[in-house]
Amino acid sequence: MTITDTSQFSAQLRSVTQEDHHAAESSDFITTLMGGERSARDYTLLISQYHYIYEALEEEVRALASHPALTDIFDLHLERGAQIIKDLEVLLPMHDLEEIPAALPATEDYVAALRAAAADPARLVAHHYLRYLGDLSGGLAIGKLVSRHYSIPDEALNMWKFDAIEKPKLYKDAYREKLDIFGANPSHAEAVLDEAKRGFQWNKAIFEDLLRATSRKVPAAS
């Protein structure tokens, strides 16, 4: 893939991944979950898969956080792992689950991809962008939706809270500027674009696995 304007690399990244991003977020599992047609248990299973994803991502990011080219991007304040554990400590007992459900096959594939990406830090940047910019962009809305639809208590919605980031919009703008600088290196740009597309595809596969593993819970008509 040829980079034509590295000064706006972040905009190109968004454009190139738009189709895969839309395919992932329009997956039946996610649209029905956000539409109130599933259950709090299904939401718990989703957060359980995120546990494995963020555990892998954050271990690899911490190992590379001091890399000169990555230190500005790999902000450890973005980490979600501890927040996910807090949420699961509330959610699992609510659904008679004694331990975190096992990683689904697609989740295992994604985790393996995250581990492999650490060998080429530019590819890990793609996953960092995909996960955390997505969380900062849609997290507040997701938290409100699942709270309303499934009576998820506030103490189980830590995944979507970024207390260390006072102004998410300004933070995201600054993050994209850092991506523009990082993407000025053509080899970095190529790797990020390629891996980000794959990242959305792995996420879509996880949603498809979750769809197969759960049954839709349509609320009774009032």
Which residues carry a binding-site annotation for heme b? 14, 21, 129, 176
What is the CB-side half-sphere exposure of residue 133 using CA atoms within 13 A?
23
Residue 109 scores a pLDDT above 50: yes
Residues 200/23, Cβ–Cβ less than 8 Å: yes
Separation between Cα atoms, residue 112 and residue 114, nearest integer Å: 5
Q: What is the pLDDT of residues 20-66, one digit of tens each?
A: 999 999 999 999 999 999 999 999 999 999 999 999 999 999 999 99
4 pLDDT more than 80: no
Q: Residue 119 domain-assigned?
A: yes
Does residue 220 lie in a domain region? no
- The whole-number pLDDT of residue 217 equals 53
**Binding-site residues, please?**
14, 21, 129, 176
For range 74-89, the mean pLDDT: 97
User: How many domains are contained in the chain?
Assistant: 1
For residue 95, the 8-state DSSP code is: T
CATH number at residue 175: 1.20.910.10
Q: Which residue has the higher pLDDT, 14 or 7?
A: 14
Residue 10 lies in a domain: no
Tell whether 21 is covered by a domain: no
List the domain range (segments joined by +) for residue 175. 34-213
pTM above 0.85, yes or no: yes
